[in-house]
Chains A and B, each alone.
Chain A
């Protein structure tokens, strides 16, 4: 292959397809290289019949390839047709494994060794990554596969599944119905998978439905005729090599992230953080001139965005200065502002005036602004209240705001400054009330957008962290002390991260630091003989270790992180400086020490208390902000809580009373804990999961039903459900027998187009009365609690 194309598009996902089709439509020489045998592999892998959403709705589509919400099949067919119609030169089975050269003379090496030459490259390979290969001689045999679409497709075969994660287990168990299945686990137990799946595979192994090779690796794959099977898998087990004749090998070893490959292409990432995004110009060009990155790989997780970028990037390559499709949206947004400049002018001014944003590349900043809201609030109006649970980030573009750091104590903050970083970083409530000052213009950026930015722009993260420490010390210890005095103390402070279960310090250690918990929570434990018994639980926003600093020189207890935890630590010297600056602090600290000692004594009185606390922590309550508990000694099994939840929430109960662990008659049913740093939020493409001012983590209507959150929640509280048709009223049920009645489930869906969306507890934030589950419990067995009340739960269980 020596012919050179103008544009080589790598990856036939929505972004790549759209780019190649636009190039074809314009008659530009191009080639579309796709690794798999079909277009849009990521979408091909959605479950059959999945309804694909076209979020964000406000964004217009700009692409020669059609896309509107509909089923996966309809969309894929539409794309195949468009490829055909525009005469796109697409090559399947053409995974790109290496790129060399520069603008005008790139050489792309394919996995099969062929070479393609191009003047420019558009990378649209997404973030799904490649399935991890077996990595043993012979793993290219055609009976080795890395995916399983339909387990019922195979019958009577000998199949070996390699891997021990959820996918491997689910495949093995599903295949075992009609086939002779073995599973290969590198380790001696199944630990990586969900509890339900572990139970499933263990019972399948126990029942003899699946054979398991523990502590085993794959030695090689042989092709030939082995008792009628086309191959054999040679395993190296703890007892030596074992050959297994196979019809099929299914390797489910997870995915290798694209990052390594992309870096090998020469693309640089701004930080080591796994979530960092490559730095792109406003025309999607990366650090390698002539190489452009679009779609999910560039940090745009939705189909429509990827497709628009595909169109735009071709225009840019051809030297046309078009406005991005989101231009009118920004224009609309900036209308509310008192400036005459055009969109680009305002964007530039923003970056110039606000230091945290100045280091951000223009493309990413544009994206930040698309997600952000701009406000010009009237002087004196409240921007947020102290103790609200909101977690957006504010920057001041013009004018000033008044921050009430303590009752009666307000400080002004002006142009270029920011606020709201405390809740953003810690997931805790707002620590101060903020009011608009004169001529105030603000940018409000959502948490996810801000986190994305912080992961990629180290400088911004540093500024935020430093400010966080300073302001935390001020608000927590020294509200009256000017920042200048605190600055040296803060400079000596450190930011520490601990994994769940990690020790901050142990009983008997030298006491030299005080920890302020920024996010997460800790338990304080004492050793009794061999056993470490937790005495207390301390939530974020509080401090630990003060006992040691005020007198004792060794630690009187061990402190352990219950979940991933971050602390700000002050050493003895900095702490003393702080005490000198604020005389009232010593008294407050001494008071805290006293009450903590009293509590310890109280807890020591009983053997069981520590166990109850450990139990609650094991149930993940260490990261909860609000949790449903049921007192088993007064729960009469009436199920009214579940029914009430279902009745007030589209027919699907968001709590499962029949599940969850019980200890000392305290039941933690399966129900949302409204985590401080919600795992469910992490991977939501349309950013549909939000936190309301009251702390409620809820899912908005723009959910696209991808199911990521369902998988990410470690407590299994999210379900995918249809919205059911409306129910008749109480009286027509009672008098005319119209069904379904109260508490009965309405089957089906509200309308034909209804898709399954994620549903979870929203703490009944839209119900005037508060949590329906709690209010419906006739005996008072069900309560919703915040972590501060856990200690009461524990002491209530004391004899």
Chain B
């Protein structure tokens, strides 16, 4: 049945990663370290090579993910292995360095690698945490379905607003038109509402949470003496409230999707940077030699 990539095939990659780490630690403990330790011993070369191979293979996930007809395992299996072997890299690579850190290219490669790994941990956390919240937030509806609901509300709003008088109609139309969902990455993640509305006498004002337009309609409601118009305005304010709630759900959805992805914007570019630094490291090591 449903099986998480973390428990894929009874966590087989977890055990492989554990074994790799244990062997590395064992060898490191058993091995006679030169003083100061360096990567130049046979163990250093071995661990370094393993680490480098792992990094190349970890990056290859990006290719495998896009090789849709591939017969080489499933993406789920790859991700499972990626996560566990990627974590084992902390041990393997660290032992390779012999804890010789400094302000140099070697340490830069190492640091970049650690950033990638840590961002990966955030990814795991995000993957575990956010999907359920998304379903909870939208009640299982997809984004297009939510937008259809908004469009439907907008049509009803427009009809009611016309009954509320020309001023209200223009204001509601402007509120609909100037509704903003999303925006920059930061705006998405912060769930910002930069909606505005053009109101008579007030000009362009913020309409976050539909508050300004609701207030405006309620003001008109207070002043209205016409029964039918009053009824329309009352209904209008309820619908605007519904619209605000619906939009806030969409913004929350946008935010959650953002949180599910944002770490990849660190993970992937830094992974390539790491690869570059690593290449330089290997080249430099051979030159110094």
A contact set with B: CB distance below 8 Å? 203, 206-208, 631-637, 640, 643-644, 647-648, 657-659, 661-663, 665, 667, 730, 742-743, 767-769, 772, 774-781, 783, 785, 789, 792-793, 796
Beyond A203-B155, A636-B131, whether A776 also contacts B2 by CB under 8 A is: no
B13 to chain A, nearest CB (A): 13
B195 to nearest A CB, angstroms? 24
A777: chain B residues within 8 A (beta carbon):
74-76
Chain B, 1-56, CB within 8 A of any chain A CB: 1-5, 8
B255 CB to closest chain A CB (Å) equals 13
CB distance from A588 to the nearest CB of B (A): 27
| Cβ A648 vs Cβ B68 within 8 A | yes
Closest to B67 in A: A730
Considering the chains assembled together, what is the distance between the CA atoms of A779 and B67 in angstroms?
A: 16
Complex contact B144–A658 (CB within 8 A)? yes
Interface stretch of the complex, out of B86-94, B134-142, B227-235: B134-142
Q: B78 to chain A: closest CB distance in Å?
A: 8
Q: B1 — which chain A residues lie within 8 A by C-beta? A: 783, 785, 789, 792-793, 796
**Majority-rule SS of A interface residues:** mixed
Identity of the chain B residue whose Cβ is nearest the Cβ of A775 in the assembled complex = B74
Q: Contact at B2–A781, with CB atoms within 8 Å?
A: yes
Shortest B231–chain A CB gap in Å is 16
Q: Are the C-beta atoms of B140 and A661 separated by less than 8 Å? A: yes
In whole angstroms, how far apart are the Cα atoms of A792 and B145 in the complex?
Answer: 30
A203 to B155, CA, bound (A): 9
Contacts of B260 in A (CB 8 A): 636-637
Q: A203-B152, A792-B1 are in contact. Are A662 and B159 (CB under 8 A)?
A: no
Give the residue among A665, A742, A778 with the most B Cβ atoms within 10 A.
A778
Q: Jot down 20 A-B pairs with beta carbons below 8 A, ordered by A.
A: A206-B156, A207-B155, A207-B156, A634-B131, A636-B131, A636-B260, A648-B69, A659-B142, A662-B139, A730-B67, A769-B74, A772-B69, A775-B70, A775-B74, A776-B68, A777-B76, A780-B2, A780-B3, A781-B131, A796-B2
Q: A643 contacts which chain B residues (CB < 8 A)?
A: 68
Known: A658-B143, A778-B5. Is A634-B127 also a contact (CB below 8 A)?
yes
B132 at the interface (CB under 8 A from A): yes
B94 to chain A, nearest CB (A): 27
Contacts of A206 in B (CB 8 A): 156
Contact status A783-B2, CB under 8 Å: yes
Contacts of A772 in B (CB 8 A): 68-69
Distance of A634 Cα from B126 Cα, bound (Å): 10
Question: Which residue of chain B has the shortest Cβ distance to A776 in the bound complex?
Answer: B75
A773 to chain B, nearest CB (A): 9
Inter-chain CA distance A200–B56, complex, in Å, is 53
Contact of A767 among B69, B132, B139 (CB under 8 A): B69
A784 to chain B, nearest CB (A): 12
Instruction: Give min CB distance, A731 to chain B, whole Å.
Output: 10
Cβ A742 vs Cβ B66 within 8 A? yes
Q: How many chain-B residues does the 8 Å CB contact rule pick out?
A: 38
For the complex of A and B, 5 pairs with smallest distance between CB atoms:
A662-B140, A658-B142, A644-B68, A647-B68, A742-B66
**Is B65 interfacial (CB-CB < 8 Å)?**
yes
B225 on the interface (CB 8 Å rule)? no
Residue of B at shortest CB range from A743? B66
Asked, given contacts A658-B143, A780-B8, whether A631 binds B68 with beta carbons under 8 Å apart, the answer is no
Contact A779 B69 (CB under 8 A): no
The answer to whether A779 touches B76, judged by C-beta atoms less than 8 angstroms apart, is yes
- Give complex CA distance A72, B74 in Å: 46
Q: B107 in the interface, Cβ–Cβ < 8 Å?
A: no
Most chain B beta-carbon contacts within 10 A, residue among A661, A665, A667: A665
Contact in complex: B75, A633 (CB < 8 Å):
no
List residues of B whose CB falls within 8 A of some A CB. Answer: 1-5, 8, 63, 65-71, 74-76, 78-79, 127, 130-132, 134-135, 139-145, 152, 155-156, 159, 257, 260
Q: Given contacts A206-B156, A774-B74, is CB(A637)–CB(B257) below 8 Å?
A: yes
Measured CB to CB, the closest approach of chain B to A365, in angstroms, equals 44
Q: Which residues of A contact B65 (CB under 8 A)?
A: 640, 776, 778
B215 CB to closest chain A CB (Å) equals: 26
Contacting residue for A780 out of B76, B139, B159, CB 8 A = B76
Please report the C-alpha to C-alpha distance between residue A647 and residue B68 in the assembled complex, in whole angstroms: 7
Q: From A645, which residue of chain B is reached at the shortest CB distance?
A: B68
With a cutoff of 8 Å between Cβ atoms, the chain A residues found around residue B71 in the complex are 768-769
Contact call A208/B132, Cβ cutoff below 8 A: no
Q: Which residues of B contact A633 (CB under 8 A)?
A: 131-132, 135
Which residue on A lies nearest to B80, using beta carbons? A780
Q: Which residue of A lies closest to B76 (CB)?
A: A780
Contact B140 A667 (CB under 8 A): yes
Q: How far is the CA of A663 from the CA of B135 in the complex (A)?
A: 10
Q: How many whole Å from A779's CB to the nearest CB in chain B?
A: 5
Which of B2, B8, B143, B257 lies at the interface centre, i.e. has the most chain A CB atoms within 10 A of its CB? B2
A residues within 8 A CB of B69? 647-648, 767, 769, 772
Residue of A with least CB distance to B72:
A769
Q: In the complex, A772→B68 CA distance in Å?
A: 6
| B135 / chain A contacts, CB cutoff of 8 Å | 632-633, 662, 665
Report whether A635 and B131 are in contact in the complex, using a CB–CB cutoff of 8 Å: yes
Which chain B residue has the least Cβ–Cβ distance from A793? Answer: B1
CB distance from B244 to the nearest CB of A (A): 21
Distance of A123 Cα from B78 Cα, bound (Å): 64
**Measured CA separation A46–B156 after assembly (Å):** 36
Which one of A203, A207, A636, A658 has the highest number of Cβ atoms from chain B below 10 Å of its Cβ?
A: A636
Contact between B75 and A640, CB atoms less than 8 A apart: yes
A769 touching B70, Cβ below 8 Å: yes
Residues of A within 8 A of B5 (CB): 778-780
> Which chain B residue shows the least CB distance to A730?
B66
Quote the shortest CB–CB distance from A431 to chain B (angstroms).
Answer: 27
Write the chain A residue with the least CB distance to B74: A775
Which residues on the B side are within 8 Å of A775 (C-beta)? 70, 74-76
Report the separation of the CA atoms of residues A661 and B139 in the bound assembly, to the nearest whole angstrom: 10
Whether A632 lies near B70 (C-beta < 8 A) is no
User: Distance in Å from the Cβ of A670 to the closest Cβ of chain B?
Assistant: 11
User: Separation in Å of the A129 CB from the closest CB of chain B?
Assistant: 36
Task: Looking at the assembled complex, report how far the CB atom of B148 sits from the nearest CB atom of chain A, in whole angstroms.
Answer: 9
From the candidates A207, A647, A730, A778, name the one contacting B79 in the complex (CB within 8 A): A778
User: Which among A662, A743, A792 has the highest number of chain B CB atoms within 10 Å?
Assistant: A662
